[in-house]
Amino acid sequence: MINKQLTNPKSIIVVGGSNDILKPGGSALFNIINGTFSGDLYVVNAKEDLVQGIKSYRKVEDVPKAELAVISIPAKTCYSVMKTLIEEKGVKAFIVYSAGFSEETVEGAEMEQQILKLVNDANVAMVGPNCSGIFNLNHQCIFTKPVPLLDAKGVDMVSSSGGTATFIIESSIRLGLRYSSVWSVGNSAQIGVEDVLQYWDESFDAKTSSRVKLIYAETIKNPDRFLEHSASLIRKGCNIAAIKSGTTESGSRAASSHTGAIASSDLAVEALFRKAGIIRCYSRDELANVGAVLLMPELKGRNLAIITQAGGPAVILTDALSKGKIDVPEMPKELGEKLKEKLLPGTAVSNPIDILGTGTGEHLGLAIDLCIDEFMAVDGIAVIYGNPGVTKVRAAYDVLDKKIKNSPIPIYPILPSVKMAAEEMSEFVQKGHVNFIDEVALANALSKVVTRTEPSVGKIEDLDVNISEIRRIVDSIQVNGYVDPDTVRLLLRAAGIPCVEEFVSDNRDEVVAFAERVDFPVVAKCVGPVHKSDVGGVVLNIKSKEHLIFEFDRLMNIPEVHSVMVQPMLSGTELFIGAKYEPKFGHIVLCGLGGIFVEVLKDVASGLAPLSFIEATSMIRSLRSYKIIQGTRGQKGLNEDLFAEIIVRLSILLRFATEIKEIDINPLLANDKQVIAVDARIRIEK
C-alpha cells in the first residue's frame, strides 16, 4: 500500500541520522535538509544531541509524533523501534534502509516477515528493507547521491536495486534527464514494482503527472498485475521503458520438444512487454537514452534530417538509423542548391547536411530553418555540433536552444565535446534540454521508440475458431502427454489452421494406397519418437511405390515407432510457431524460421496469448530473418498476413484450451500464396 504519508509527509523522523554523511542515515538526512522538504524534521541518534544542525533525540520514545520514519539502524533492532513508532508516535509510513534481512539469511527472512506483519496489521506503508529510499518533488528520503534535477514533467522511475537506480541516475545526469520521482524498493517486502506501477496508474493526472516511466526489475512477482497497470498507463498517454534482469539460464534445460528447449523466462518477459507496449532495454545507458527520447516531442514518422559539422559522425548516425528502420532521405537537388548558397563553400547538402567544422551558429540556424520550412520529407532533425576549436560553441548552442523550443518537429542534439565544451554543454542542459553525446546511442533509442507496439491486453481477434469443438476434443482426452496425430490435426482444423493432408497407419498396404491416391512424391515420417529427425525418421521426396515400401519397413524398425505418417511432398520455406506454458505468465507463443534452424539459430520472437494481429505482425517483423519472409535476392516474399493469422489462431486455441502445455507446429511450409502446417505435436496436462 502506498499512502500520502509516504509520498507527501508533513513530518519525518530519521532514525539513525548521523553527522557522518558517508553513512546512509547521515547522507539521507543531508539530502532531506538540502532538498524540497518543508515540514517538521526529527532525528534519533543514541550518541548525539545535534545532528547536522538538527536537535537529536537519544531514544525513539522521546521523539515527537510524525507521519514518515526513515530507518537506518541494524536489522535486529528494527522491529522494536518500528513497533514503538507505530504505537506511540503515529507513524504511518516507513522507508527501511537497513540490510540483513531476506537477502542474506534465513534468520533475516524471518525478521523481514515479522516487520511485514507489523506494518500490514497496522495498515502502514513500508518501502524496503534493504533499499536506498525514495524521492519525489516533496521530499528526498534517499541516501545515495547524486539527487538529479527535479521536474514535475521529468521521468518517474522504480528500481529493484538501489545501486542500479543510482547508476541510472548518473547516466541520466550526463544526458540532462530530469526526474519527478524515484523509488528504490529493495526487498519489496510490502511495496514492490507492481505496487508502484499501480500507484502511478491510479494517481495519474493527465495535466500534472509525468508521462515517462522507467523500470528496473529483478523479479516480476505478479505478471497479470504488472501487465494491467503498465498497459493502462500507456493507454492514458504514458510511455514505459524497462530493464528486466536475471533472465538467462545457468545451463541447458532438459526439454522434450523444440519449444521446451528455447522457451525461457526471457521470452516470457519479451512477450509480456510486447503485450503491454513497454519498450525493453538492456543497459542503464540505453534506458536513460530511451527516457530522454520519450521526454522530447514525438517523432511522427521515420524520416530524419542530419545537420552536422563533422562528416564521420553523420555517416555513423546514418548507418545506425538505417539499421533501426529510420530513414535519412536525400534532399531534393534544387532545395540543396538553395541551402548551399547560404552556407560556407564546400558544404555538403544532400542529407546529411555537413556545415563543416567552421560552420557557425548562424549556419546551423539556417540549415535547421530550411529543414523545418521546406524539407517536407523529414519528421525530425538530428544536430551534431561539438567544439573543434575554431567556432563559438556557446553561440551555436544558443541558436540550437531557441530552435528546439520553437520547432514543430523534434530536434535531437548530439553535443559530443564533453571536455572541450563542458561548460557550454552544461549551460545548454540547464535550459531544460537533453544531450545524447553519442549518435549511435540516439539512433538505438529512437529505433526502440518508433518500433514499439501498442498495448493489446485482453484483446481477442474475431476469427472463425470453433471453440466448442476445441473443448469437445480436449475434454475427450483421457491421458496426459503427447496426443496422437489424428487429435492434433482435429485441434488445428478446429482453430482454422490449414494442415497438409496426411494418413497414419501401421499397415503398409494402407499407407501405399494413400500415397497412390494423393500422388507421388510423398513424405514419410515415423510416429512415436518426439524428435523424428534425430532418429532418421523423416524421408523426403519419395517418388515411387517401391521406395515407399522400403522406407516404411525401415521406419517401423526404429525403436519406439508404432506407425508411419505419409503426406504429399510440398515445397516452400519452412516456418515455425509454437507455444509453451510458463507459470504465472500463461502461454508464450513463439514464431521464427522452421525446421532444424529453430534451435540452431534461436531466432524467435515471443508473444503472450491471446495475440492481436498487431502483436503477431510485430513478432514476425522483429525476427532477424524477416528479410527472408519479405523476399530476398529476387525470390517472392512469403504470405506474411496468413502467417500472422495462423499465429493469432494458435493463440486463441490456447486461450480456450489451457490444458495444452506445449505445442510445436514445425514446419509450416510457406510461399507467397499459402502457409500450411506439415508437422505438429501437442502435449496435454490436465
Instruction: Label each residue of 76-108 as H, E or C.
Output: HHHHHHHHHHHHHHCCCEEEECCCCCCCCCHHH
* CB neighbourhood size of 113 (10 A): 13
Q: Is residue 48 part of a domain?
A: yes
- Beta pairing class for 212-217 and 239-244: parallel
Extract the C-alpha cell encoding 442: 540516439
Q: Which of 268, 295, 322 is the last residue of a domain?
A: 295
Is there a single domain that holds both residue 220 and residue 158?
Answer: yes
What CATH number does the domain containing 512 carry?
3.30.1490.20
Q: How much is the average pLDDT of 141-155?
A: 92
**Rounded-to-integer distance, Cα 76 and Cα 359, Å:** 65
- pLDDT bucket at 460, cuts 50 / 70 / 90: confident
Give me the torsion for CA of 439, 445, 448, 452, rounded to 10°.
-130
Rg (the chain; Cα; Å):
31
Expressed in angstroms, the distance from the first to the final Cα of the chain is 37
Cα(524)–Cα(510) distance, integer angstroms: 13
Q: For residue 123, give the amino acid letter.
A: N
Q: Binning pLDDT at 50, 70 and 90, where does residue 633 land? A: confident
Q: How many CB atoms lie within 10 A of CB 42?
A: 22
Indicate whether 333 and 397 sit together in one domain.
yes
**pLDDT tens profile 531-568:** 888 899 999 999 999 999 999 999 999 999 999 999 99
Among 220, 266, 247, 277, which Cα is nearest to 588's?
266
CA–CA gap between residue 396 and residue 477 (Å, rounded):
74
- The predicted pLDDT at position 255 comes to 34
Question: From CA 200, how far away is CA 210, in angstroms rounded?
Answer: 9
Residue 280 located in a structural domain:
yes
Q: Among 569, 586, 608, which residue terminates a domain?
A: 569
Q: What share of the chain is helix, strand, coil (3-state, %, to 5)?
A: 40, 20, 40
In a domain, residue 478? The reply is: no
Strand partners of residue 183: 134, 158
Regarding whether 124 and 46 lie in a shared domain, the answer is yes
Both 189 and 254 in a single domain?
yes
Can you give the pLDDT at residue 306?
98
Cβ neighbours of residue 209 closer than 8 Å, sequence gap 6 or more: 180, 200, 203, 238
* 486 part of a folded domain: no
Q: What pLDDT score was predicted for residue 241?
A: 98
Q: Does some domain include residue 140?
A: no
The answer to whether the predicted template modeling score (pTM) of the entire model surpasses 0.85 is yes
What pLDDT was estimated at residue 456? Answer: 87
Pair 277, 164 in one domain: yes
- Per-residue pLDDT at 631: 87
pLDDT at 248: 64
- The answer to whether residues 607 and 549 belong to one domain is no
- Is the same domain home to 517 and 633? no
Which three cell numbers, joined as nine digits, stand for 631?
Answer: 523476399
Q: Which of 295, 312, 335 is the last residue in one of the domains? A: 295
Domain count, the chain: 5
Q: Are 596 and 533 in contact (CB under 8 A)?
A: yes
| CB-CB contact of 85 with 13 (8 Å) | yes
Helices within 352-498 (DSSP H only): 361-373, 393-406, 422-430, 439-450, 467-476, 485-494
pLDDT digits 0-9 by tens, 365-380: 999 999 999 999 999 9
Domain assignment present for 646: yes
CA-to-CA dists, residue 414 to 178, 284, 476, angstroms: 18, 19, 64
The whole-angstrom distance between residue 500's C-alpha and the CA centroid of its chain comes to 37
pLDDT per residue as tens digits for the range 92-120: 999 999 999 999 899 999 999 999 999 99
Q: HSE (CB half, 13 Å, CA atoms) of 592?
A: 26
Rounded to an integer, the average pLDDT of 47-67 is 96
d(CA 134, CA 128): 10
Gap between the Cα atoms of 403 and 67, Å rounded: 46
Cα dist. 106→76, 81, 101 in Å? Answer: 13, 21, 8
pLDDT tens digits along 180-235: 999 999 999 999 999 999 999 999 999 999 999 999 998 899 999 999 999 999 99
Q: Where does 5-85 show beta strands of DSSP type E?
A: 11-15, 40-44, 50-51, 54-57, 68-71
Which secondary-structure segment (H or E) carries 193? Answer: helix 193-202
Q: Which residues share a beta bridge with 660?
A: 684
Q: Do 603 and 559 reside in the same domain of the chain?
A: no
287 and 312 both lie in a single domain: no
Beta-bridge partner residues of 381: 305, 411
Q: Reply yes or no on whether the pLDDT at 513 is more than 50.
A: yes
Q: Do you know the residue count of the chain?
A: 686
Distances (CA, A) of 246 to 101, 219, 250, 462: 21, 8, 10, 37
Report the CATH number at residue 188: 3.40.50.261
Measured CA to CA in angstroms, residue 508 lies from 520, 533, 679 at distances of 16, 21, 21
Give the domain CATH number at 125. Answer: 3.40.50.720
- Helix (H/G/I), strand (E/B), else coil: 667: strand
Nearest to 197 by CA among 228, 164, 166, 235: 228
Residue with cell 523476399: 631
156/120 same-domain check? no
What would the pLDDT profile of 236-293 be if each residue is shown by its tens digit? 999 999 999 877 654 334 334 445 555 557 889 999 999 999 999 999 999 999 999 9
Whether residues 251 and 154 fall in one domain: yes
CATH of the domain at 584: 3.30.470.20
Find the domain containing 526 and state its range. 502-569
Residue-wise pLDDT for 565-596, tens only, equals: 999 998 889 999 999 999 889 999 999 998 77
Q: Which pLDDT score is estimated for 252?
A: 32
Maximum Cα–Cα distance across the chain? 100
Write down the pLDDT at residue 256: 40
Do residues 575 and 594 lie in contact, with contact meaning Cβ atoms separated by under 8 Å?
yes
Whether residue 593 sits in one domain with residue 564: no
- Determine how many CB atoms are found less than 10 A away from the CB of residue 347: 18
Does residue 457 fall inside a structural domain? no
pLDDT at 108: 94
Residue 335 lies in a domain: yes
